[in-house]
Structure 1
Amino acid sequence: MSREREITSLTNDTIKAVRALHMKKARDQTGTFLAEGLKFIGEALDLGQTPRQLLVGKDARPHPLLDRARAETLANGGEVIVVTREILEKVSRKDNPQTVLAVFDQAFTALDDIEPARAPCWVALEQVRDPGNLGTIIRTADAAGCGGVILIDDCVDPFSVEAVRATMGSIFAVGVSRASRTEFLAWRSRWPGSVVGTRLDATHDYRAAPYRTPSLILMGNEQAGLTDDLAGACDLTVKIPMRGRADSLNLAIATGIMVYAATEGA
């Protein structure tokens, strides 16, 4: 039965389970993840997703959005838990924590459920390692109107606390899919638009690429870039020119440049 209760002990089993969501093993076992902040939770509510658990600090200021979050959490079978500041600090691992935290269900989109025509641009990422990069890319994909983000092979967990934090709420708006290299290559063969990747050895400028809607932008690992087999799956590989001393761009920045180039005029 959904209800509201108070917890003051750090050794409480519920609090220990929420704290454990900083670890991938716990997220995988429960199929949940941790989100921080009222604005973030408001994004989820607007998109029809309610928390399993809503942790509210005793000193949280009254706010209409907080009232809504409480009501919708309880109405949908979730639990509202009033906690101390010490618990918020331990759960968030921050000295100055948000006064509202929430546990949500993870959601992945199967490759076969992707509808390419639903958006002018999609993003696929190979072996991304940095959670901040991944979260920023998801946020950028949302801002650019992309249909979703596909994670190929061993990518960082999109539901890690760091990645979720970097999405600024876009984790609820952008579909995330996972695929092995073999699964992706088989699925890519049915892609109806252009597949464009970035490589340092490419000869085409990214601005001159023939982006054919829907475009699939394929980006590689932060250190090594696209592997040869995935580069070979592209209709075209392009480069973003470096005019200064830096020899490369941060992956999230490069992906942002590519998706806006692909969606220009879309």
Structure 2
Amino acid sequence: MSETRRAAEGRVGQVKEVTSLANPIVKDIRALALKKYRDVQGAFMAEGLKLVIDALDLGWTIRTLVFARSQRGNATVEKAAARAKAAGGLVLEVPEKVLTAITRRDNPQSVLGVFSQRWIPLKDIRPASGDVWVALDRVRDPGNLGTVIRTVDAVGAKGVILVGDTTDPWSLETVRATMGSIFAVPVARADAAAFIGWHKAAKMRLVGTHLKGSVDYRAPDYAKGPLVLLMGNEQQGLTDDLARACDTLIRIPQAGRADSLNLAVATGVALYEMRRHAFPVTQGKAG
């Protein structure tokens, strides 16, 4: 929702009961299912109480919290609503049919939040020794992108850089796949030329996965300097320009009939190998 519209309606920090799908506020939220409206509004939806609480805990700007009427009296939901109000957001109480329409799911979560998008400028990434970033060249599948973001969070890598024309990290499908990690993992974007220029200026070691890579992914010493793991498009792999920009091209051996791994799986395999070399040993959670 635009700030102008918010101010005009005088609804900051309010609680409002809405029952109609024709309500203009509901229409604005439903429009966020489309990328062009997410871009215009600079906003996105996160579905589920856990994701909303994660975002609030990490200081994200909430614009609207929507909860099902059936959750009235639920102490955890009401606490989240109070936090949203205190942060200046609008709180909507709606029947389930409205949540179903917004999320386009027959069994929607009982709570969703609308948050402001947050991008980190590529120029602001100043890697330190031991840092690992993941760059994705033209990733197209929302599930893959969401799973990579979740894996980056689990491994303890620093963030994700989207290169070229990629799927939208703020789509509802991608946000769902991150399981809340979208709020913990910085995301940057750049075209290929800008990314290559940044990599050279930052003096980061660029390691790309490639079917023609001559180096087994377990062979390099990843402890040397900050790293960027560069993963190619699901169908086409890396562009020639990006492959040439890599300091090392690695491959993940295939023992069976499959000639490649799913992008998110391959990213996880490579990242955990890098973690053994480059990341400090910490006492983390199992699983």
Fold-level match, TM-score > 0.5? yes
User: How much does 1:64 deviate?
Assistant: 4.1
User: How much does 1:226 deviate?
Assistant: 0.7
Q: Which residue of 2 aligns with 1:86?
A: 97
User: How much does 1:218 deviate?
Assistant: 0.4
Is the contact made by 2:148 and 2:267 (CA closer than 8 Å) also made in structure 1?
yes
Q: Which residue of 2 aligns with 1:129?
A: 140
Q: Which residue of 2 aligns with 1:199?
A: 210
Is the contact made by 1:152 and 1:179 (CA closer than 8 Å) also made in structure 2?
yes
Tell me the TM-score normalized by structure 1.
Answer: 0.97
Q: Which residue of 1 aligns with 2:115?
A: 104
Q: Which residue of 2 aligns with 1:11?
A: 22
Is the contact made by 2:164 and 2:190 (CA closer than 8 Å) also made in structure 1?
yes
User: How much does 1:161 deviate?
Assistant: 0.8
Distance 2:18 2:189 in 1: 37
Distance 1:119 1:26 in 2: 38
Q: Which amino acid aligns with 2:163?
A: I
| Alignment map for 1:130-169 (pairs within 5 Å) | 130-169=141-180
User: How much does 1:193 deviate?
Assistant: 3.6
Q: 1:27 to 1:200 in 2, by over 3 A?
A: same
Secondary structure at the counterpart of residue 32 of structure 2: helix
Secondary structure at the counterpart of residue 235 of structure 2: coil
Q: 1:191 to 1:70 in 2, by over 3 A?
A: same
Q: Which amino acid aligns with 1:179?
A: A
Is the contact made by 2:19 and 2:95 (CA closer than 8 Å) also made in structure 1?
yes
Q: Which residue of 2 aligns with 1:46?
A: 57
**Deviation by residue 1:99-119 (Cα, 9 ceiling, x = unmatched):** 101100000000111131186
Q: Which amino acid aligns with 1:66?
A: V
Is the contact made by 1:35 and 1:161 (CA closer than 8 Å) also made in structure 2?
yes
Q: Which residue of 1 aligns with 2:232?
A: 220
Distance 1:12 1:63 in 2: 25
User: How much does 1:62 deviate?
Assistant: 4.1
Q: Return the match for 2:262 from 231, 244, 250.
A: 250
Q: Which residue of 1 aligns with 2:45?
A: 34
Is the contact made by 1:119 and 1:146 (CA closer than 8 Å) also made in structure 2?
no
Q: 1:10 to 1:118 in 2, by over 3 A?
A: farther
Is the contact made by 1:136 and 1:166 (CA closer than 8 Å) also made in structure 2?
yes
Q: Which amino acid aligns with 1:184?
A: F
**Deviation by residue 1:207-247 (Cα, 9 ceiling, x = unmatched):** 00221232110000000101111011111000000001111
Secondary structure at the counterpart of residue 49 of structure 1: coil
Distance 2:266 2:160 in 1: 15
Distance 1:134 1:109 in 2: 17
Q: Which amino acid aligns with 2:56?
A: L
Is the contact made by 2:126 and 2:202 (CA closer than 8 Å) also made in structure 1?
no
Is the contact made by 1:118 and 1:147 (CA closer than 8 Å) also made in structure 2?
no
**Deviation by residue 1:62-117 (Cα, 9 ceiling, x = unmatched):** 44432332112111110000001100111111111101011000000001111311
Secondary structure at the counterpart of residue 177 of structure 2: helix
Q: Which residue of 2 aligns with 1:237?
A: 249
Q: Which residue of 2 aligns with 1:208?
A: 219
Q: Return the match for 2:193 from 158, 176, 182.
A: 182
Tell me the TM-score normalized by structure 2.
Answer: 0.90
Secondary structure at the counterpart of residue 190 of structure 1: helix
**Deviation by residue 1:111-138 (Cα, 9 ceiling, x = unmatched):** 1111311863100010011111001100
Gap runs ≥5 in structure 2: 1-11, 280-287
Distance 1:210 1:179 in 2: 28
| Residue 68 (1) aligns with residue 76 (2) | no
Segment of structure 1 superposing worse, 129-138 or 65-74 = 65-74
Secondary structure at the counterpart of residue 56 of structure 1: strand
Distance 1:115 1:55 in 2: 37
Is the contact made by 1:38 and 1:100 (CA closer than 8 Å) also made in structure 2?
yes
Q: Which amino acid aligns with 1:136?
A: T
* Sequence identity (%): 52
Distance 2:228 2:24 in 1: 44
